[in-house]
């Protein structure tokens, strides 16, 4: 064995011992506290090491975690943070370490390198050819968008939208529709019509209760502005306006509007035109049609008995002369001034007095003479004080619609005509009143037990037991 061969193991042992000592020094450097760097540079700005330390602490990692993430040994990272650049392998390594560490900490690599150059200057010495560590990829500027994030976001948006819809519906159901009027609550106009206008919720139904209890309806357009032309009468005109939400059926608070049309001093009595009955007309039943037009507020009709008519057919028990019927008021249509109704008269000759009265109590009167003779059986059934159901036969045949009984409300009346007979079954005889061929017979029964009565022209009313 040569001397060279003998020396080789010794060289290997020395190299191994040197490497061991170097690792020992690294462990001691990593465990011992390093000296604190100066906090500011010559111009008063923070030094590079302090910037790196602050950024790492903000990131919430220690040097050993940074070593695992960046693949840069902890002692080199500590040297960078403490400004001990002489402990680093060289300028090229230092630049690579600074660039990767800056990217890891979220700092601008170029700004960090510029700070390093300003503190230590550019080292011009030749460095051995080395392989520069591959720079770390720059962190992404935002979170990664995945299918799970998209689905979660869509669900969140859906939940928020649904919650908003529910809240909107609750508010809508809790609040009545809006309603505002453009004109003052009380005004005066010299005209036959007026325009009522206002604002409200689009789609709401506006109802205007006008003169004579006539009701006008309109739907608020998308603009929210609405208007309606309504008629006026002389004197005071009261209107009640409400808005209804079609979805919730909630009504707004009613608004009151008063429009007064002045009545001029010395104004003439209201006009009155009677188109029916014509003077001298003969009728074969007691329902006299009364029709016409007027500018008055109301029309009242009354009758005076003038004597028997030729061929008057009345029940044998009917006394003569018949008592005049009560005066009857006929409603006047406010927008057209027309009136129409029927006035029941017994057989005979009659003089009708038709009077129209305006707001100033001025009256215009028209007289008409008529005669009434009956053919067959004419029966008017009136409900007074209570309702009752009726079942009716005319000439022995059930009247269509009355086969199962029809309830007639209190204050209402119905009429039937037959050649030979009319038979009525009432569920409330005490509230059922009869007018046969213009002659009032009153209520023929009492109490609430159903009763059936048959009426003819040749005999008094007959109580029967008919039910079907």
3-state secondary structure of 115: helix
Sheet holding 432-436, edge to edge: 413-418, 377-383, 432-436, 439-443
Q: How far apart are CA 426 and CA 390, in angstroms?
A: 5
pLDDT, tens digit, 9 for 90 and up, residues 256-304: 898 888 876 656 788 899 999 998 888 877 788 999 999 888 899 999 8
**What is the distance of C-alpha 48 from the center of its chain?**
66
- Residue 185: DSSP 8-state: S
pLDDT, tens digit, 9 for 90 and up, residues 14-54: 455 555 555 555 554 444 334 444 445 555 567 888 999 99
- Does residue 10 lie within any of the structural domains? no
Q: Kindly report the CATH number assigned to the domain that includes residue 119.
A: 1.10.260.40
Whether residue 42 is found in the same domain as residue 137 = yes
Whether residue 86 is found in the same domain as residue 147 = no
For helices 48-59 and 109-120, what crossing angle results, to 10°? 150
For 309, half-sphere exposure in the C-beta direction (CA atoms, 13 angstrom radius) is 28
- The pLDDT, as a whole number, for residue 221 is 94
Whether residue 128 is found in the same domain as residue 148 = no
- Residue 74 structural domain: 27-142
Q: Final residue of a domain: which of 209, 238, 261?
A: 261
Number of domains in the chain: 5
Q: Final residue of a domain: which of 320, 342, 372?
A: 372
- The pLDDT, as a whole number, for residue 241 is 93
Would you call 302 exposed, middle or buried from its count of C-beta atoms within 10 A (0-12, 13-18, 19+)?
middle
Which of 280, 276, 303 minimizes the C-alpha distance to 292? Answer: 276
Per-residue DSSP letters for 207-263? EEE-GGG-EEEEE--TTSEEEEEEE--SEEEEEEEEEE-TTT-PBPPPEEEEEEE--
3-state secondary structure of 127: coil
Q: Is the pLDDT of residue 135 over 60?
A: no
Q: Is the pLDDT of residue 64 over 70?
A: yes
- Does residue 314 lie within any of the structural domains? yes
- The pLDDT, as a whole number, for residue 401 is 85
Residue 278 to residues 294, 302, 348, 363: CA-CA distances in angstroms?
A: 17, 16, 16, 21
Phi, psi (deg, nearest 5) at residue 397: -115, 135
Q: Are 234 and 268 in contact (CB under 8 A)?
A: no
Q: How far apart are CA 44 and CA 68, in angstroms?
A: 34
- Does residue 83 lie within any of the structural domains? yes
Whether residue 399 is found in the same domain as residue 327 = no
Q: Is the pLDDT of residue 225 over 90?
A: yes
Whether residue 200 is found in the same domain as residue 170 = no
Which of 81, 23, 72, 27 minimizes the C-alpha distance to 52? Answer: 81
- The pLDDT, as a whole number, for residue 212 is 55
Whether residue 357 is found in the same domain as residue 453 = no
pTM beyond cutoff 0.85: no
pLDDT, tens digit, 9 for 90 and up, residues 77-91: 998 888 888 888 888
- Does residue 16 lie within any of the structural domains? no
Distance linking the first and last C-alpha atoms of the chain = 147
Q: Kindly report the CATH number assigned to the domain that includes residue 420.
A: 2.60.60
Angle at 448 between CA 421 and CA 417, to 5 degrees: 20
Return all residues near 397 (Cβ < 8 A) that are at least 6 apart. none
Whether residue 397 is found in the same domain as residue 449 = yes
Whether residue 336 is found in the same domain as residue 413 = no
- Does residue 421 lie within any of the structural domains? yes
What is the arithmetic mean of pLDDT over 397-418? 85
Whether residue 456 is found in the same domain as residue 396 = yes
Whether residue 102 is found in the same domain as residue 32 = yes
Strand partners of residue 390: 406, 426
- Does residue 319 lie within any of the structural domains? yes
- The pLDDT, as a whole number, for residue 378 is 84
- Classify each residue of 420-433 as buried b or exposed e, where b means 16 or more C-beta atoms within 10 Å of its C-beta: ebbbbbbbbbbbbb
Angle at 10 between CA 9 and CA 14, to 5 degrees: 115
Whether residue 47 is found in the same domain as residue 119 = yes
Residue 409 CB neighbour total at 10 angstroms: 9
- Does residue 6 lie within any of the structural domains? no
Q: How far apart are CA 367 and CA 100, in angstroms?
A: 117
Whether residue 330 is found in the same domain as residue 243 = no
Mean pLDDT computed over every residue of the chain: 80
- Does residue 186 lie within any of the structural domains? yes
Q: Kindly report the CATH number assigned to the domain that includes residue 254.
A: 2.60.40.10
Which of 297, 292, 228 minimizes the C-alpha distance to 261? Answer: 297
Q: Final residue of a domain: which of 228, 261, 294?
A: 261
- The pLDDT, as a whole number, for residue 126 is 38
């Amino acid at each position: 064995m040569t001397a060279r061969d003998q020396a080789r193991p010794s060289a290997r042992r020395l190299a191994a011992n040197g490497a061991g000592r170097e690792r020992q020094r690294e462990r001691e450097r990593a465990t011992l506290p390093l000296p604190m760097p100066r906090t500011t540079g010559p111009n008063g700005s923070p030094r590079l090491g302090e910037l790196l330390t602050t950024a790492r602490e903000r990131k919430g990692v220690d040097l050993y975690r940074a070593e695992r993430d960046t693949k840069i040994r902890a002692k080199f990272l500590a040297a960078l943070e403490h400004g001990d650049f002489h402990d680093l392998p060289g300028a090229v390594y230092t630049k690579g370490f600074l660039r990767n560490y800056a990217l890891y900490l979220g700092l601008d690599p170029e700004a960090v390198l510029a700070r390093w150059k300003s503190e230590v200057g550019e080292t011009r010495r030749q460095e051995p050819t080395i392989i520069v560590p591959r720079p770390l990829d720059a962190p992404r500027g935002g979170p990664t968008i995945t299918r799970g994030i998209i689905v979660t976001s869509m669900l969140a948006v859906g939940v928020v939208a649904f919650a908003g819809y529910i809240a909107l519906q609750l508010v809508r159901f809790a609040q009545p529709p809006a309603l505002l009027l453009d004109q003052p609550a009380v005004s005066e106009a010299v005209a036959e019509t007026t325009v009522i206008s206002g604002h409200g919720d689009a789609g709401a139904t506006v109802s205007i209760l006008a003169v004579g209890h006539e009701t006008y309806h309109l739907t608020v357009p998308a603009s929210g502005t609405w208007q309606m032309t309504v008629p006026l009468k002389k004197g005071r005109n009261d209107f009640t306006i409400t808005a209804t939400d079609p979805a919730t059926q909630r009504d707004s608070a009613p608004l009151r509007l008063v429009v007064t049309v002045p009545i001029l001093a010395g104004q003439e009595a209201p006009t009155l035109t009677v188109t029916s009955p014509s003077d001298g007309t003969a009728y074969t039943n007691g329902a006299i049609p009364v029709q016409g037009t007027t500018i008055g507020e109301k029309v009242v009709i009354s009758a005076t008995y003038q004597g028997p008519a030729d061929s008057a057919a009345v029940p044998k028990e009917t006394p003569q002369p018949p008592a005049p019927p009560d005066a009857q008021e006929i409603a006047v249509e406010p927008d057209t001034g027309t009136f129409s109704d029927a006035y029941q008269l017994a057989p005979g000759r009659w003089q009708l007095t038709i009077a129209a009265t305006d707001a100033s109590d001025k009256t215009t009167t028209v007289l008409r003479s008529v005669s009434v003779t009956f053919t067959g059986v004419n029966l008017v059934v009136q409900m007074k004080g209570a309702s009752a159901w009726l079942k009716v036969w005319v000439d022995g045949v059930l009247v269509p619609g009355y086969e199962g009984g029809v309830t007639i409300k209190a204050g209402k009346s119905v009429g039937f005509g037959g050649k030979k007979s009319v038979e009525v079954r009432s569920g409330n005889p005490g509230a059922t009143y009869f007018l046969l061929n213009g002659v009032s017979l009153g209520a023929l029964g009492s109490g609430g037990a159903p009763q059936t009565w048959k009426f003819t022209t040749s005999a008094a009313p007959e109580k029967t037991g008919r039910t079907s």
